[in-house]
Structure 1
Amino acid sequence: MKIQLNEKLSISKLVIGCMRMNDWNLSVKQTVEFIEWCIERGITTFDHADIYGGDHRNEALFGEALQMQPSLRENIQIVTKCAIAVPNAKNPNIKTRFFNTDKQYVLEQVNDSLDKLNCGYVDLLLIHMFDLLIDPGELNETLQQLKSEGKVNYFGLSNHSPLEFDTLQKYTDIKFVTHQFMLNPLGIQNYQNGTMTHCLKEGISPMIWSPLAGGRLFKAANPADEKMKNVLQNIRQELNLEHLDEVVYKWIFKHASNPAIVLGTGNKERIERALTSLEGPQMTREQWYKILIEAGYTLW
């Protein structure tokens, strides 16, 4: 259940995404118990961002649990992200959302994340989006400083194109160990634009967010979504699986880049279903391609 991102850092194949943690309505004690429950099942990686919940709110909720039970920290990997500036109480002069990889801004955001998380370092920092005004040399200085100060162990990117990834890597002395981006049967652009193949080229395991398309696969609110749901249901029956989401997870996991999946839920039943997808029958190539073709991929 572990994915080795480099010689020293491994993450769990299933990652708990904390974007909606403020909606889970958990007390601090319940959050501690939830983290412990995940660890017992081999899910040890938790994905954050400075903007989740608004102005580090969800990092703070998680940090309260670490403050109550400090021993949790040594058993988990914390991922966080920055580079999206949004209007909030901390930045009252910001009126428009934009991307910011300015050195001072990134350092401030990481320091605030560490403060809210109640920990001295994060295992992995991702640049959340590609900043068109980025100074790659300055970014290199920023990452080097965070590394030398012991605040961040490893680095990666999120939601970048292959060209954007390669451009930043060219000017950065620190190797990016992962790339986080969206992929699901209703959104295959990262197959179409070569991002998944780029992961193979770079020898990195991606972190996949929104695997269930935000629930659209279950709602099937339009004819195209309904057709995809029917394809998934047929494959579910062929594989003798109980739930539709198990089919989707197996489809994502089949790629040779060895992806991790970021689960955007605190629902234990849904998490258990994701765990089930790691075992049992594997999807055939034909079944895998049926889903890809239904999603709109042209083979030739």
Structure 2
Amino acid sequence: MRTIKLGTSQLDVPVVAVGCMRINSLDKAEAERFIQTALDEGANFFDHADIYGRGACEEIFADAIQMDSAVREKIILQSKCGIRQGMFDFSKEHILASVDGILQRLKTDYLDILLLHRPDTLVEPEEVAEAFDQLQSSGKVRHFGVSNQHPRQIDLLKKYVQQPIVANQLQLSITNATMITSGFNVNMENDAAVNRDGGVLEYCRLHDITIQPWSPFQYGFFDGVFLGSDKFPELNAKIDEVAHTYGVSNTTIAIAWLLRHPARMQPVIGTMNIDRLKDCCRASEVHLTREEWYAIYRAAGNVLP
């Protein structure tokens, strides 16, 4: 699989990340087959969070991959922390305790990347800086990033945090593309011109922060999958047409649409279906034309000014 550098780091990562939020829906044999398929496809980047399955997903993954030092060297592990029941928590104490729990469940001594999950408005960035320094100096975390943060939130962290922010995990799909749409409608009197994220797309490009789109097949906020949905007949017709041109599935084209953007994104897929996993990975080989990218964008109901 094609790789990119993650942010400003020297870490080469596959362009498709394997999200493990639903791995607890598989039994052990199924989980083993799924993970092996991902590795066979070159998708050795696995995304976790301490809240997925209340930690069970990390444990299931470690057991299924039969984690040991030899296995660990072949994979890239990312996890997230900061969400607690009824609140968000970026305190130093919580970050350090969360990482210890993550490492224990994943049966490893270190994370390649730690992301701060949903923004905590009570964040004390000085505490985050202390936590990051301690995690880096102890060897427990090698790279750091954020999730669902806009530019000013990132700048606030960067005022105190020494380590580069290498990734920002954000909701983005063909049907949830406000970060793109607002850029087409600058200073116009329509809903599409509403800047909902502070220009996070351009900010991440300017600062070499890798955008990791989550829910790349969803419309709304987990309202459903747009592929095959009767809510999006024109979009599905166009995706199917382009898929036929390349001899691939509609799943492949949906991911290829994200990969075509020059921001060098790394979509996080959430499927636990082996065939769909393979289709997602195949997107690495497809490079849509400008005409195809815009045709798909318009077919989703987006109107160019």
Equivalent residue for 1:208, pick from 203, 213, 216 = 213
Corresponding position of 2:52: 52
Equivalent residue for 2:236, pick from 217, 220, 229 = 229
Contact 1:79 1:126 in 2 (8 A): yes
Corresponding position of 2:258: 252
Corresponding position of 1:37: 37
1:251 Cα offset (Å): 0.8
CA distance in 2, matches of 1:259, 1:230: 25
CA distance in 1, matches of 2:266, 2:147: 13
Contact 1:211 1:261 in 2 (8 A): yes
CA distance in 1, matches of 2:60, 2:161: 33
Equivalent residue for 1:111, pick from 78, 82, 100 = 100
What are the superposed Cα offsets for residues 83-114 of structure 1, whole Å, 9 maximum, x if unpaired?
A: 1102xxxxxxxxxx211111111111111111
* Pair 1:16-2:18 in alignment: yes
1:1-300 to 2 correspondence within 5 Å?
Answer: 1-5=2-6, 6-27=8-29, 31-54=31-54, 56-67=55-66, 69-86=68-85, 97-191=86-180, 192=182, 193=197, 194-213=199-218, 216-222=225-231, 225-237=232-244, 239-280=245-286, 282-297=287-302, 299-300=304-305
Pick closer, same or farther for the CA change 1:297–1:84 going to 2, 3 Å: same
Contact 2:23 2:31 in 1 (8 A): no
What are the superposed Cα offsets for residues 59-106 of structure 1, whole Å, 9 maximum, x if unpaired?
A: 1111223556542111001000001102xxxxxxxxxx2111111111
Residue ranges of structure 1 left out of the alignment (5+ in a row): 87-96
What are the superposed Cα offsets for residues 212-240 of structure 1, whole Å, 9 maximum, x if unpaired?
A: 11652124243xx2332233233334x34
CA distance in 1, matches of 2:237, 2:177: 18
1:7 Cα offset (Å): 4.3
Partner secondary structure for residue 181 of structure 1: strand
Residue ranges of structure 2 left out of the alignment (5+ in a row): 183-196
1:40 Cα offset (Å): 2.5
Query: Quick one: higher RCO (CA 8 Å, sep 6+), 1 or 2?
Result: 2
1:178 Cα offset (Å): 1.1
Once superposed, what is the RMSD of the aligned Cα atoms? Answer: 2.0
CA distance in 1, matches of 2:34, 2:252: 22
Amino acid at match of 2:48: H
CA distance in 2, matches of 1:141, 1:296: 46
Q: TM-score normalized by structure 2?
A: 0.86
Pick closer, same or farther for the CA change 1:7–1:187 going to 2, 3 Å: closer
Contact 2:211 2:265 in 1 (8 A): yes
Corresponding position of 2:188: none
**Percent same amino acid at aligned positions?**
31
Larger deviation, residues 169-178 vs 67-76: 67-76
Amino acid at match of 1:41: E
Q: TM-score normalized by structure 1?
A: 0.87
Amino acid at match of 2:24: N
Larger deviation, residues 30-39 vs 129-138: 30-39
The ranges of structure 1 where at least 4 consecutive aligned residues each deviate by more than 6 angstroms after the TM superposition are none
Amino acid at match of 1:186: T
CA distance in 2, matches of 1:71, 1:266: 25
